[in-house]
Chain A
Amino acid sequence: MEIVIEGWRAGSEERKEAASVPAGQLAPLTDEQKSVAKKMGISEEDYARSAYAGRRHQDRLIDKTRRFAEILEEKLQSISEGARIDRIRLVTIEHEYRIEIRLSNRKLFFRVSAEMVDDFIEGGSAEIGRQIMNRLETVVTGRAA
């Protein structure tokens, strides 16, 4: 299974952490990043702090996405033997997970909002969890769960 986090956000925790890192310990910018900083009209140090916060946020997103994918795959296998997730992609700017599912004879796409995943994985909402699993079943079987 491949996990892809496309883009980043930075919450206040990550921003605070990034602000406290000594400038010398920030990862040097690539030429591409320097170009982005210039286009955005911000200093290279500001961009380096922003990238630091973004990467820390991506660490959290990777962990959350992995947990979600494992739960989803367990359900998937109970619906259709041998089914698996090829790829789970979080598009942060659209706040949406896009999941590519492989069945024995075909490939399916399943989408779910990041808000629902947050409520399920971080908020512990069993009801939202059921809704996500019901949608998955509908997508896989072609029948309303």
Chain B
Amino acid sequence: MIDLKDQSVTVHLSDEGRRVLRQAGWDAPDTPPVRFEVQDGTEQGLWVQLEAAGRRHIVMIRWDYILAVIVDVGEIRTEGLVH
């Protein structure tokens, strides 16, 4: 099962989602993809960190407003140990 907690994700918001975030005081960029750090993922949506008015907030973005999520899974690192 995928677990998005603490992952960096790029989210494609719907116009409505962008409007709602602006209404909530966040200066959402006009570019379609927006990068977020995920605090948690739930059945309702994503809890993400937002900076607004110089303060950090944790905001729920409902899945209804999310068109796509791209996860930067990261790279593979391998280390060997001598038995």
Chain A proximity of B5: nearest CB distance (Å): 7
Is the Cβ of B78 less than 8 Å from the Cβ of A41? no
**Residues of B contacting A4 with CB < 8 Å?**
76-79
**Residues of B contacting A5 with CB < 8 Å?**
76-78
| Complex interface: stretch among B6-14, B17-25, B59-67 | B6-14
Number of interface residues of A (CB under 8 A): 31
Chain B proximity of A45: nearest CB distance (Å): 13
Chain A proximity of B79: nearest CB distance (Å): 5
Which of B3, B31, B35 neighbours the largest number of chain A CB atoms within 10 Å of its CB? B3
| Complex interface: stretch among A6-14, A103-111, A122-130, A132-140 | A6-14
The yes or no answer to A62 lying at the interface (CB within 8 A) is: yes
Per-residue contact bits, chain B 53-79, to A (CB 8 Å; 1 contact, 0 not) = 000000000000000001111111111
**Residues of A contacting B5 with CB < 8 Å?**
9
A136, B66: Cα distance in complex, Å: 41
Chain A proximity of B62: nearest CB distance (Å): 22
Q: Which of B2, B8, B73, B80 is the one whose CB lies under 8 Å from A10?
A: B8
Per-residue contact bits, chain A 2-24, to B (CB 8 Å; 1 contact, 0 not) = 11111111110001000000000
Closest partner residue, chain B, to A90 (CB atom):
B77
Is the Cβ of A50 less than 8 Å from the Cβ of B8? yes
CB neighbors of A among B21-60 (8 A): 31-33, 35, 37
**Residues of B contacting A54 with CB < 8 Å?**
74-75
Is the Cβ of B80 less than 8 Å from the Cβ of A2? yes
Is the Cβ of B3 less than 8 Å from the Cβ of A41? no
Would you list 25 pairs from A and B whose C-beta atoms are within 8 A, ordered by A residue? Answer: A1-B80, A2-B78, A3-B79, A3-B81, A4-B77, A7-B74, A7-B76, A8-B74, A8-B75, A9-B7, A9-B74, A11-B6, A36-B72, A39-B70, A41-B10, A41-B32, A42-B33, A50-B8, A50-B72, A58-B74, A62-B79, A93-B7, A94-B1, A94-B2, A94-B3
